[in-house]
Amino acid sequence: MITQILHNLWQVCIDKLLLAATSWRFFLRQAKFFLMENLLEIAKEEVVLGSSFQLVFMPLQIGEQAPDFTLPDQDGNLVNLSSYKGQRVIIYFYPKDDTPGCTKEACNFRDRWKILQDQKIKILGISKDTANKHLKFINKYQLPFTLLTDLEPCPVATLYESYGLKKFMGKEYMGMKRQTFVIDPEGKFELIYLKVKAATMADQIVEDLALS
């Protein structure tokens, strides 16, 4: 099993390189996504990799071009990141609709909506939830911004290094991480928040962008 997976990974790497479709950083994240898809299968086979086997992936960096993507919103409409070129975009990944932390974060963006809207800043919340769950969440808390669906195995969150191994009550599982990115008008990372305080995320962005 592990031999076949590594063989397939190598083939994916060769194909990506020959096509030269993206930057080398994007290429590495695609390889990371392939590995994540197969982690559970590897675990089922109880394969133990030696400590000498390591893959190192470069972290996302401010000033780097943000990966483009297309995802469906709460109304089923497809949203493409590149369509917002020329304006700032806030992309925030969160675990699940209508849970305590995610509700606090969404409501903080709602409460800061006017000042962000006045600056023509687009807000895109992304989770694994379906469009129907997004609509219920939006209606319940009167959220004025867009929520997108990134279904398992969460390819967009993986590209943004916001999907991976998590721990809860001693158990490990693959899930969405709470992380936020501000994309500048040229489509590059302007701000990156890997440690998010859900209740004050929007407040922090407003302060860091000197909008207040």
Catalytic residues: 102
Instruction: Please say whether the beta carbons of 154 and 163 come within 8 A.
Output: yes
The Cα 133–Cα 163 span in angstroms is 20
Exposure string over 140-158, b if 16+ CB within 10 A, otherwise e: eeebebbbbbbeebbbbbb
Give, in order, the Cα–Cα distances in Å from 51 to each of 45, 48, 54, 205: 18, 9, 7, 40
